[in-house]
């Protein structure tokens, strides 16, 4: 089976836009409250001001991340017909949808923008990347709630492994911090009442909503090597499994997390002893953190591999979370540091005693790592990423 190299990364996050700012942000404690990308400049993504006005925020994030990732990767040797795009979103153009709904109610149907549909459609980001850079291979969108980014990168990896593509631009983007979304999450008691993200903490009380995007450039290993690309890491395998249990709650006892991580290891042809680090989904909700901790302990024992959740810093960017967290895994390998789980002050004594990084970053010798994502609908995803 063909190997898959990571040759480019791009990220937009509430703690920094671009890899360097993002990495520094992961090492700083964050303020209380929702996590918006306040310093985003859409001209990072588009040359034409008209294109900015005709793109929802989630597409703008994806385009900026894709530009950064492609600039780092350099000139691809894969033909346009063999270069795919697989960029997902959990919700899509929620902002423009709500905005134009208000226009409809207040001003009538004739004032609704003719660009509403192409702006709000979930595949807008993938299509925009394909059009801007002329990629003519498969161009698709994944929408599996909070597992979206992880699933997109995993499926893109298979496109290369199976010979469908020689290169794929893959990841996810989300900008769904709208009035309706926030009200809905709040009314289902999913959001933190304290405004603090505290993964695995005994006082955790829900997630802090965020936005952002993460994009990877993936290439067939030998082709990347032959063109002299700097290989940042390798995707060894992935898994995508369903709980088949409940629309919002994870399967009891951590069985969904356990099965997904185990299947990803099988796909990568590794054993639990090979894993050096786990980037947890770690949303700061009672059931998610419990289920993930139970799954980790069941598969790896305790204390097991070093675990962190960057959602303590970034908050939860829904469909983009897995892609952003996969970027953090690769950067952790580059810097030989694992960021701490910000907000974690008192590890929940009711959870298995897994080894979660607290207080400050931890030095490590990079090795194969897992990146987990678990979404509403029972969607589970795990990536296995190794150093170059």
146 classed as catalytic: yes
* Average pLDDT for 339-351: 98
Which one of the listed residues 146, 165, 277, 379 is annotated catalytic? 146
- Specify the CATH superfamily of domain 4-377: Thiolase/Chalcone synthase (3.40.47.10)
Continuous segment of H or E residues that includes residue 384? strand 379-387
Sequence spans of domains, the chain: 4-377
Report d(CA 13, CA 167) in Å as an integer. Answer: 25
Could you give the percent of the chain with pLDDT greater than 90? 96
170: Cβ–Cβ under 8 A, 6 or more apart, which residues?
Answer: 85, 86, 87, 152, 153, 155, 156, 157, 215, 216, 218, 323
The two tokens of residue 222 are: 């030998």
pTM of the model: 0.97
Q: What is the pLDDT of residues 258-268, one digit of tens each?
A: 999 999 999 99
Inform me whether the pLDDT recorded for 44 exceeds 90: no
Which one of the listed residues 151, 277, 316, 379 is annotated catalytic? 316
pLDDT band at 138 (very low <50, low <70, confident <90, very high): very high
Quote the pLDDT of residue 47: 86
158 within 8 A of 101, measured Cβ to Cβ: no
pLDDT band at 380 (very low <50, low <70, confident <90, very high): very high
- Residue with tokens 């069941």, as numbered in its chain: 298
Quote the pLDDT of residue 166: 98
The two tokens of residue 63 are: 């385009």
Inform me whether the pLDDT recorded for 30 exceeds 90: no
Q: What is the pLDDT of residues 298-326, one digit of tens each?
A: 999 999 999 999 999 999 999 999 999 99
Q: What are phi and psi of 185, to 5 degrees?
A: -60, -40
Q: What is the pLDDT of residues 74-102, one digit of tens each?
A: 999 999 999 999 999 999 999 999 999 99
Which one of the listed residues 97, 151, 281, 379 is annotated catalytic? 281
Inform me whether the pLDDT recorded for 33 exceeds 80: no
Quote the pLDDT of residue 74: 98
Q: What is the pLDDT of residues 45-54, one digit of tens each?
A: 898 889 999 9
Q: What are phi and psi of 355, to 5 degrees?
A: -90, 85
Quote the pLDDT of residue 87: 98
């Amino acid at each position: 089976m063909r190997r898959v190299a990571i040759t480019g990364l791009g990220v937009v996050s509430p703690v920094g836009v671009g890899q360097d700012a993002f990495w520094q942000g992961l090492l700083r404690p964050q303020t209380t409250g929702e996590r918006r990308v306040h310093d985003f400049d859409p001209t990072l993504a588009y040359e034409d001001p008209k294109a900015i006005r005709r793109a929802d925020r989630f597409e703008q994030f994806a385009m900026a991340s894709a530009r950064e990732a492609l600039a780092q990767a350099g000139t691809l040797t894969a033909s346009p017909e063999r270069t795919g795009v697989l960029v997902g979103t959990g919700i899509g153009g929620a902002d423009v949808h709500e905005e134009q709904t208000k226009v409809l109610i207040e001003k009538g149907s004739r004032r609704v923008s003719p660009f509403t549909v192409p702006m709000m459609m979930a595949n807008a980001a993938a299509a925009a990347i394909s059009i801007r850079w002329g990629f003519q291979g498969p161009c698709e969108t994944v929408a599996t709630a909070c597992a979206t980014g992880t699933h997109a990168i995993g499926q893109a990896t298979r496109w290369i492994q199976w010979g469908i593509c020689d290169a794929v631009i893959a990841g996810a983007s989300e900008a769904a911090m709208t009035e309706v979304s926030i009200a809905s999450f709040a009314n289902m008691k999913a959001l933190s009442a304290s405004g603090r993200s505290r993964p695995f903490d005994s006082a955790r009380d829900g997630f802090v909503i965020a936005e952002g995007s993460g994009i990877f450039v993936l290439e067939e290993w030998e082709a990347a090597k032959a063109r002299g690309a700097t290989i940042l890491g390798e995707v060894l395998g992935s898994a995508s499994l369903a709980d088949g249990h409940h629309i919002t709650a994870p399967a009891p006892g951590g069985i969904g997390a356990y099965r997904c991580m185990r299947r990803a290891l099988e796909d990568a042809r590794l054993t639990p002893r090979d894993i050096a680090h786990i980037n947890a989904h770690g949303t700061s909700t009672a059931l998610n953190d419990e289920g993930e901790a139970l799954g980790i302990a069941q598969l790896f024992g305790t204390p097991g591999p070093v675990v962190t959740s960057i959602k303590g810093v970034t908050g939860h960017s829904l469909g983009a979370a897995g892609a952003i967290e996969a970027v953090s895994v690769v950067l952790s390998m580059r810097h030989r540091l694992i960021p701490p789980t910000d907000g974690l002050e008192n590890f929940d004594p009711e959870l298995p005693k897994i080894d979660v990084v607290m207080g400050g970053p931890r030095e490590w010798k990079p090795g194969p790592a897992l990146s987990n994502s678990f979404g509403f609908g029972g969607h589970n995803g795990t990536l296995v990423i190794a150093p170059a």
